Structure formats: C-alpha cells, structure tokens
Structure 1
Amino acid sequence: MSETAHTMDPTFYRSPSEAIAAPTELLAYVVAFDRAAQKPDALTVVDTDPSSETYGQIVGWADLPTVGDELHHFGWNACSSALKHEGHDMGPDGLQRRYLLLPGLRSSNIHVYDTHPDPRSPVLHKTIEAKELAEKAGYSRPHTLHCGPDGVFLTCLGSGDGDEGPGGIALLDHATFDVLRAWETDRGPQYLHYDAWWHLNQNTLISSEWGTPSMVENGLVPELLLGGKYGHQLHFWDLAEGRHLQTVDLGAEQQMVLELRPSHDPEATWGFVGVVVSTADLSASIWRWHRDGGEWTADKVITIPAEPADPADLPPALAPFGAVPPLVTDIDLSVDDQMLYVSCWGTGELKQYDVSDPAHPREVGSVHLGGVVRKTAHPAAPGEPLAGGPQMVEVSRDGRRIYVTNSLYGAWDDQFFPSGVGSWMAKIDTDPAAGGLSLDARFFPRGEDWRGLRPHQVRLQGGDASSDSYCYR
C-alpha cells in the first residue's frame, strides 16, 4: 500500500461498501437561521452518540459574524470524489474533509468553518463575500454545494446582478476557497437553477430548477405557479467541459424540480429527482432519470396525492383548494441504493421506498410528524402539536439512522405555517434491509434548544448519504 493510502483522510471512501462499513457518526452539524435577521445564524453541533450523557442535545454552537444570511444548504470542502483525479495532496496536511462551507441564501456570503481540532467547536476560517462571488463567477444567492473532483461546485439561483438569472454553478478552490470562475462554458438554454450532481464515471453532471431569487425569496407566488413558470426541467452536461448537452422537460405542470439523488454505484446511469407539486392535482412526484441509448430520459415512478382538508384548517395559500399538497421538499437515497426517503413537508410525513428495482419503487415505511393539518406530535412530547414537518432529510452511511429538520425557507415557512413553524430535529431508526421506520423518543432537540433559530440542513461527521460520490465499486 502506498504512503498516500496510509495518510489520506480516512473518511475518503473508495466505494459505497467501504463507506457503509466505516465507523458511525458521533456528531451531526446543523445550520440554523434567524428569520427576523436580528441576530446571527449559527452552525450547531448535535450529539448523536447513543451512549453519551448528552445524546440528542446541542453540544456545540458557532455564531456567524454577520446577520441576515439565512443559512440553508451547506457542505464539506472535500470528500470521496477527490479520489477520482490525481494531483491532490492526500498527506496529513493536505486535502481533508475538514471545512464546512455555509452559503447565505439571502446575503450571498459564504462562511467557511474549520471542524479541527475540536469537532464540537467549529471556528470561522474565512468569509467569501458576495462581491467576490459576483465578480469572479457572475452569480448570487448560493444554494447548494457538493465537493467535486476539481473543486467545490456551488449552485446559485441568481446572476451577479441580483434578483434574476441565469443561475448556475460557481467553482471554488478546495483548499483556499477562492472563487475560481463560473463552471459552465456553454450553458445552452439553461436559465433557472437549483441542485447539481453527477455520474463521475460517465462524465455527466445533472442540474435541476427552482426559480430566480425574485421568484422564491418572498414566498410562493401563485401566479407563477399556476402559469407553470417555476422550474420543470432537468439538464445534462459534460462534467469535464462544463458544456450543456441535453434538456429533459418533465412538463410545465410539474413545478419545482428540486433535489437530485444519483445512484451511489459509480457505474450506474440513473438517479431520482423530487417534484414539489403538480398544478394538475396538487400531487407531488418522484422521477427516475436514466440513460436510454445515447440519450437521457426521465419517467415518473412515484406519485403522492394531495389530502382533502377543511378549508377552515388551511392557511390562506391553500384554503381555496380544500386540500393539503404533500410538498415534497427533499429526498435522500441510501448509500447502498436500496432505500429512498421522501419528505412530504405539507402533510407531515416521511416516506420510505424500497428502490432495489429503481424503475418500480415500493413503499415500505412511513412516519408522521407535524403537518399543515395533522400537527402530529413527537413521542418525546406527546402533548405538543408540531408545526412544520419532515423537511431536510439525511441518512447515515450505514442506512440505519435518518435525521430530519422541520424548516424549509423563512418566507415559505410563514406562508404555509402562518401561526409559526417552530424549531425541531428528529431521528428515525430503520432496518436498511427490510425497511420500516420508528421515531427515537430520546432524540428531539426542539424549541428553545435552538435559541429562537430555525434548524435546516444536517451534515453527519465523516460523511452521509448526500455528501459523497464514489469512484470504485
């Protein structure tokens, strides 16, 4: 074995099976934001070690140096995809899964936190200001990032000019965090942006669509929704060249094509994407993209219907429809590609599907928490009706634990839960082979545990199901 293999970061896994067999996470990193923008957002640390006296409690807290960022998605500077290309310094002082990059969706600032030497006490390492992102890449409103083989891929909703598009991908240096450039060399017809991920061994990047900043940051705009103006397309790109290759349109009624979850098998050519709502019937759906000969295509494989409700129980945005849409706002695929998790934020449900045959998913588990109408309580606090619902979902590498948080995005929270969305995080246990979901009654940080902030995305120590892409089987 080479010296590099001895000294490289042990959380860079060559294959999905190696990641699954690695030690389980003892900590979860969670970003939380202040809706009022009066105090700093925070990077928090939650104890996930069941044998610990502080299990299920927030054990670390780092305030941002600014206010008004609205932390949303975030991620690692480096991960297993670094093994795809030579040229990285993999020694003890070289490339490591060490820094967390926290984009501010409203401010366009990006704060970089160092999780070493004490993973419970991350410290601010650097701030990348909105001006640098706009001047060097031509983008604003950074939303999602993935550690890639050539750098950090940062998806952005808006252009450098502000409220409109085109959105796209900024490429950042793994180590210095300098903004290098816009990743695209030829964007073709792509204008709206949301998520981006890839099939490394097929040299293919996939991107999805939500809306420009003006379309999303003040809440859902009914006229845009009913007019089919939010994103409804997938885009396929040459990963090495940044060149647009193909558009797959799911149909204008399929509004807001969001989270991309490609297979973790590096030789596979399929993945899943969630669609928030259909204007035809308020249902939500999951689509499978796959390669068909030399072209890419997508098929609807899951439909989740809206649930009838008394208009008196609904917020003004939904009362005219007399129903609660599921509002699929996040999905996650287990590292072994066997289970797909679907967050139905509107109805307050997390669904589990066996996708061992990805063309024919089969529901095998479900839990309810919160919901616009149900307001289902957690077993740790059976007398407390919950607002919000399972929103961001993260799965442990071994597929046995699922973590969810309840806030979507400030303005959207207020629109669908006008009486308050609350603040909570929950953990769900499962059998990764047979399925079935059960809430952990010991794990429920909520309310004032979050000091008035709303928790959003979760990242697990050492990586998780939506952090890494793998190079080898």
Structure 2
Amino acid sequence: MYYGPYLGRISKGSDTESTKNKVSQTRREDTAMNLRPDPTFYASPKLAMEGPPETLAYTMMLSPDFSQPDGLAVVNVDPNSPDFGKIVHTVIMPNKGDEFHHFGWNACSSALSPLTGHAFLERRYLIIPGMRSSRIYIIDVKGGPTAAKIHKIIEPAEVFAKTGYSRPHTIHCGPEGIYVSTLGGGGKDGTDGPPGIFIMDCQTFDVIGRYEIDRGAQDKHYDFWWNLPRDYMVSSEWALPPQFENGIVPEDLLSNKYGHRMHFWDLRARKNIQTIDLGANHQMALEIRPAHDPVQQYGFCGVVVDTTNLEGSIWTWWRDADGKFQAKKTAIIPPQPANADDLPDLLKGFSAVPPLVTDIDLSLDDKYLYVACWGTGEMHQYDVSDPMKPVLAGKVELGGIVKKTKHPCGKVFGYGPQMVEISRDGKRVYWTNSLYSTWDDQFYPGERGGAMVKADVGANGGLTLDTNFFVEFPKGYRTHQIRLEGGDCSTDSFCYPSV
C-alpha cells in the first residue's frame, strides 16, 4: 500500500491507470510546491537587490471612526501598466474596529536559514493584525493581483488564551514560524502583565505561545528585529494601551513615561541579555532597523521626540568585541519654529513643530537610511555608509502640520510622511501618511484622507517625487503600512553574507 502525502491510502486493487495518473500528477504538483524554495527567497541582500522589480504593493486601509471594516488594498506599481498608481483590488474584512497597523508575510528569506525546517514554504499569505481588536487575518494573495482573499481569521479569544497578550502590532517571519509583537498584556486595558512576542505556526497559522522565557527589564513593547546567524534580537518600546489608544497623553509625555529603552535578546535562549536606556527624555524609541548583511552587527533606532528640545533623533547601536551592545545618538533633526495659531492645541504652547520621527527604513545595501518626519512633513535620506556618521543626502517636503506642502501633481497630501518602504533594488521609495487614528486627530485635526506616494532615488543619492504616482484611498479610509510583492527592505531577514 502507498501512503503518499495528501493522497491517503491507496490499495493494490485500486491501482488502475487512472489512479496512477492521478498519483503521478499529485506527486508532480507536490514536488513543484514543496521541493524547491520560493524564488522570492534570497540567500543574501545582494542577491535580493538583483531580483525582478516589484509590480504590486499591498497597503492597509483603516477606518478611523470604525464605521467601515478595515481592508487590504492591492496597488499596481508597474510603470509599464495602464493601471500604474491605481488600486486594482481590495479585500474588505467582515468585522469593524480592528485598526490595522503593521502586517507581514508568512514566510520570507529567513526560511533559507540552515537552522530551519521550513525552507520550502511559499511567500503566499499576508498576516494582518488588528491592533484594537486583537483579531488576526490571514490573506492568501496567490493567483494574481485580483485574487487576494481571506484564508483564515484568528479570533481574539485564541490570542488571549494561548499568550495572555493583546494588541498585536508587528509581524516578522522567522525560521521557526511567524513572530508577532504585541502592545498589551491581559485585562480590559491591556495592563495585566507586560506585552511581549508570541509565535504562530507558519503553515496552519495556529497560535503556539509566548516567545519570552526571561524578559528581564522589558515591560513595554513596540518593534523587534534580529540578526539570525549572530543569534540575537533587538526590541524597542512605545507605550501601554492607556497611553496610546485614546491619543497621546500629554502629562505622561512631559513626565517621560513613554518608552525610551532598547532590549537585546539571546534569540535562541529567548532571554533578555541587556537593556540600554537612551535617556528618559528620549521618548518613544520606535523602529528597529539592523544592517541587512548578517556579517555586520549594528543597526538603527528612531526616537520620536526629545522632551527637552522637541528634537527627533537617530541612534546607532552596535555590538562590541566583548559581546556587549552599545548605543549612541548619531543624528538629530531639530524642530521648526511656528506661529501658535498654526499649531494644533497639543503643540500651541511650544511655538514650534517637532519633526516627530515615526518611521525609519534601511536600504538592502545598508547605504541609505530613510527617516519619516511626520510632524514637519519631510522624508529624509541619510547616507549611512559610516553608520556612526549619518550624512543627509536627500530630502523631500510633503504635507506637514504647518507647511502643508502639496504633491508635485498638485494634490494635497494630508498629514505627513509616515510608513516608508523601499524596493529591494533601492531605486524606489514608497510612503503613506497616517500614523494612528487618534494621534492623527490630535496632530492633524479634521479628516485628511489616505494617500500613498513614490519617490525615485538618484544614482548618487537624492530623492525626487514621481509626479505620476499619487494613490488616493476610498472615502473614510486612511492608510498605514506597505508591503511589496516579493519582499522589501523591512520584511526579509538574510542568513548569508553578500559577496
């Protein structure tokens, strides 16, 4: 008798020519699906940069007043297509009030790690967490731009029961499964215990359990990323749910009660091995961006605001010869003077608009760091060839609390540059404009609409907005995170050095 995968039990007596053909066909399909790594998995950053350019972008659509379900928009980014810059498909969810945020793939280049048992997965599913609802959607995008559909929904009860965490925030695909960071612990307000990371099965999408064995000093969470061959992870801090869900709490900010630390972990032992405090005045240490080449042991973290002077800042962290981690402020972005009448109530007393560094992203060649200054309405490009001495190489002004700079096409870009994503070859940079619904309303009162734009990168640096690319989202929706077809600069982890 034959016990083949997916074929069940076939007896000798049923071994007809028809059955043989079916078995043969199923074996061929199984081989095609499972015995070769996905071609969008790349061993090194350099190989990823040489891959084909993206033709699709996947973008979150969120309803800030919860009057509509959130959704996924599929955007055509192929300049040779008549649909360039258009939304060609949407997947609207069956529930309201999810507030989508940072989503990611079920599998990526990390699957090629020598330690993995999952090398033959497909980059097929997008894992979308609802930050307010604690519900998670699995979206199957196989079959072309208009084929994306809901594959599975994980209800909040499963997340609570198996992890004790709430408010899932960031998705990263790792060698063993899908890692999900959270912003809340248990209880109604998410403060019954600290938030953390949990792991999902990358094939069944079952919630497995908590990542942490020993969390040490970590009691808040935000972003995380790792160096897989070097076996360490880095995480950062934003706030606890009562400090962000209903908007920023000015008293907590001025009292320096938001996150300001970075945590370093033994990835395999799942243990916090070191915590670095950037200083209580450096409020909201958010995005973590390690060097993509795993030989390198450094990376960057963006800090939203210094409460002593309203500056935003970039910090470089690194591992020294003794195995200890260090961090240093390597770039500052000053606030811009402003008339109090031009500022929202939250900022009137300062007579200045802070840059509000809300996202950063690093090109695959580790050369350019892009910094979103959501408050002043600027996208900065830094040459970080020397990671200890970032040099401003390009800048685009768009939106902003005071400037309100229009796009070159003449359209208004509401809010400011926010979530930024870079093509694998480093030649195109995309970004959206919404931070988080209640924070949008505080810093930019009034509905301003969701938008996505693209800038082209010069051969020697510099940024130029594409006049022909301005994506407007359906009425009542804002937009946040972007993922690119075949992977991008903030999804994939690489396990082999670039040559």
TM-score (norm 2): 0.91
Describe how 1:423-442 pairs up with structure 2 within 5 A: 423-431=450-458, 433-442=459-468
Task: Name the CA distance, whole Å, in 1 between partners of 2:36 and 2:468.
Answer: 37
Which residue of the partner structure matches residue 394 of structure 1?
421
Per the alignment, do residues 90 and 299 of structure 1 end up closer, same or farther by CA in structure 2, a change over 3 Å counting?
Answer: closer
Once the two structures are TM-superposed, the CA of residue 454 in structure 1 deviates from its matched residue by: 0.4
Describe how 1:7-46 pairs up with structure 2 within 5 A: 7-46=36-75
Per the alignment, do residues 14 and 314 of structure 1 end up closer, same or farther by CA in structure 2, a change over 3 Å counting?
Answer: same
Once the two structures are TM-superposed, the CA of residue 379 in structure 1 deviates from its matched residue by: 1.1
Q: Does the 8 Å CA contact 2:117/2:176 hold for their aligned counterparts?
A: no
Whichever residue aligns with residue 451 of structure 1, its letter is: K
Once the two structures are TM-superposed, the CA of residue 445 in structure 1 deviates from its matched residue by: 1.1
Instruction: Among all aligned residue pairs of Structure 1 and Structure 2, give the percentage whose two residues are the same amino acid.
Output: 53
Q: Deviations for 1:403-448, whole angstroms, at most 9, x for unmatched residues?
A: 00000000000000012332111000002x51110000111012xx
Task: Name the CA distance, whole Å, in 2 between partners of 1:87 and 1:249.
Answer: 33
User: Which sections of structure 1, spanning at least 5 residues, go unmatched?
Assistant: none
Which residue of the partner structure matches residue 100 of structure 1?
126
Matching residue within 151, 157, 171 for 2:183: 157
Once the two structures are TM-superposed, the CA of residue 294 in structure 1 deviates from its matched residue by: 2.2
Which residue of the partner structure matches residue 362 of structure 2?
333
Describe how 1:238-317 pairs up with structure 2 within 5 A: 238-292=266-320, 293-317=322-346
Task: Name the CA distance, whole Å, in 1 between partners of 2:296 and 2:474.
Answer: 40
Q: Deviations for 1:250-276, whole angstroms, at most 9, x for unmatched residues?
A: 000000000000000111110000000
Task: Name the CA distance, whole Å, in 2 between partners of 1:385 and 1:119.
Answer: 28
Task: Name the CA distance, whole Å, in 2 between partners of 1:236 and 1:352.
Answer: 27
Task: Name the CA distance, whole Å, in 1 between partners of 2:407 and 2:440.
Answer: 19
Once the two structures are TM-superposed, the CA of residue 234 in structure 1 deviates from its matched residue by: 0.3
Task: Name the CA distance, whole Å, in 2 between partners of 1:30 and 1:103.
Answer: 13
Whichever residue aligns with residue 387 of structure 2, its letter is: P
Per the alignment, do residues 457 and 267 of structure 1 end up closer, same or farther by CA in structure 2, a change over 3 Å counting?
Answer: same
Once the two structures are TM-superposed, the CA of residue 451 in structure 1 deviates from its matched residue by: 3.3
Which residue of the partner structure matches residue 404 of structure 1?
431
Whichever residue aligns with residue 60 of structure 1, its letter is: H
Describe how 1:40-439 pairs up with structure 2 within 5 A: 40-86=69-115, 88-91=117-120, 95-163=121-189, 164=191, 165-292=193-320, 293-381=322-410, 384-431=411-458, 433-439=459-465
Which residue of the partner structure matches residue 444 of structure 1?
470
Whichever residue aligns with residue 419 of structure 2, its letter is: M
Task: Name the CA distance, whole Å, in 1 between partners of 2:90 and 2:128.
Answer: 14
Task: Name the CA distance, whole Å, in 2 between partners of 1:386 and 1:101.
Answer: 28
Once the two structures are TM-superposed, the CA of residue 98 in structure 1 deviates from its matched residue by: 0.5
User: Which sections of structure 2, spanning at least 5 residues, go unmatched?
Assistant: 1-30
Whichever residue aligns with residue 165 of structure 2, its letter is: Y
Per the alignment, do residues 18 and 230 of structure 1 end up closer, same or farther by CA in structure 2, a change over 3 Å counting?
Answer: same
Per the alignment, do residues 70 and 471 of structure 1 end up closer, same or farther by CA in structure 2, a change over 3 Å counting?
Answer: same
Q: Does the 8 Å CA contact 1:343/1:391 hold for their aligned counterparts?
A: yes
Q: Does the 8 Å CA contact 1:62/1:121 hold for their aligned counterparts?
A: no
Per the alignment, do residues 18 and 6 of structure 1 end up closer, same or farther by CA in structure 2, a change over 3 Å counting?
Answer: farther
Whichever residue aligns with residue 285 of structure 2, its letter is: V
Once the two structures are TM-superposed, the CA of residue 90 in structure 1 deviates from its matched residue by: 4.0
Whichever residue aligns with residue 170 of structure 1, its letter is: F
Whichever residue aligns with residue 375 of structure 1, its letter is: K
Q: Does the 8 Å CA contact 2:58/2:75 hold for their aligned counterparts?
A: yes
Task: Name the CA distance, whole Å, in 2 between partners of 1:89 and 1:184.
Answer: 22
Task: Name the CA distance, whole Å, in 2 between partners of 1:465 and 1:422.
Answer: 26
Task: Name the CA distance, whole Å, in 2 between partners of 1:4 and 1:410.
Answer: 40
Alignment size in residue pairs: 464
Instruction: Give 1 or 2 for the bigger CA radius of gyration.
Output: 2
Secondary structure at the counterpart of residue 48 of structure 2 = helix
Which residue of the partner structure matches residue 20 of structure 2?
none
Task: Name the CA distance, whole Å, in 2 between partners of 1:271 and 1:5.
Answer: 34
Task: Name the CA distance, whole Å, in 1 between partners of 2:33 and 2:439.
Answer: 47
Secondary structure at the counterpart of residue 400 of structure 2 = coil
Once the two structures are TM-superposed, the CA of residue 5 in structure 1 deviates from its matched residue by: 10
Residue 497 of structure 2 corresponds to residue 470 of structure 1:
no
Once the two structures are TM-superposed, the CA of residue 125 in structure 1 deviates from its matched residue by: 0.6
Q: Does the 8 Å CA contact 1:134/1:161 hold for their aligned counterparts?
A: no
Per the alignment, do residues 122 and 271 of structure 1 end up closer, same or farther by CA in structure 2, a change over 3 Å counting?
Answer: same
TM-score (norm 1): 0.96
Once the two structures are TM-superposed, the CA of residue 3 in structure 1 deviates from its matched residue by: 9.8
Task: Name the CA distance, whole Å, in 1 between partners of 2:116 and 2:329.
Answer: 40
Once the two structures are TM-superposed, the CA of residue 85 in structure 1 deviates from its matched residue by: 3.7
Whichever residue aligns with residue 386 of structure 2, its letter is: D
Whichever residue aligns with residue 88 of structure 1, its letter is: G
Q: What CA RMSD, in Å, does the superposition of the two structures yield over aligned residues?
A: 1.5
